[in-house]
Amino acid sequence: MATPRPSLPRISLDSWAVLIALLVAVLVRAGVLKVVPW
């Protein structure tokens, strides 16, 4: 019998958006993203 493939815990798209935005903010704070032109 095939064993079920382990899957990542399901996180809503909303939560993913928050996590990514916070990660980006942390990268700015850490100086990884220094200047973002507009």
Partner 1 sequence: MADSVALPQPRTLSLPSRVFALIPGVLLLALVGYAGKFLEQFIARYGKSHHLVLPNIEYVLWAILIGLVISNTIGVPAAFRAGVATYEFWLKIGIVLLGARFLVGDVLRLGGVSLGLVIIEIALSLIFMTVLGRTFKLRPKLITLLAVGSSICGVSAIIATQGAIDADEEDSSYAIAAILALGAISLFLFPVIGHGLHLSDRGYGLWAGLAVDNTAEASAAGALYSDAAGKVAVLAKTCRNAMIGFVVLAYAIYWAGKGQAAKVQNKAAFLWNKFPKFVLGFLLISVLASIGFFTRPQITAIGNLSRWAFLLTFAGVGLRTNLRELGKQGARPFLVGAIGEIAIASLTLGLVYGASKLSLL
> Using CB under 8 A as the criterion, which residues of the chain lie in contact with partner 1 when the complex forms?
8, 12-18, 20-22, 24-25, 28-29, 33-38
C-beta closer to partner 1: residue 1 or 14: 14
* Smallest gap from residue 18 Cβ to partner 1 (A): 4
The first and second tokens of residue 15, run together, are: 């939560």
The first and second tokens of residue 26, run together, are: 């942390």
Is the CB of residue 16 less than 8 Å from the CB of residue 22? no
C-beta closer to partner 1: residue 1 or 37: 37
Is the CB of residue 28 less than 8 Å from the CB of residue 19? no
The first and second tokens of residue 16, run together, are: 């993913």
* Smallest gap from residue 25 Cβ to partner 1 (A): 6
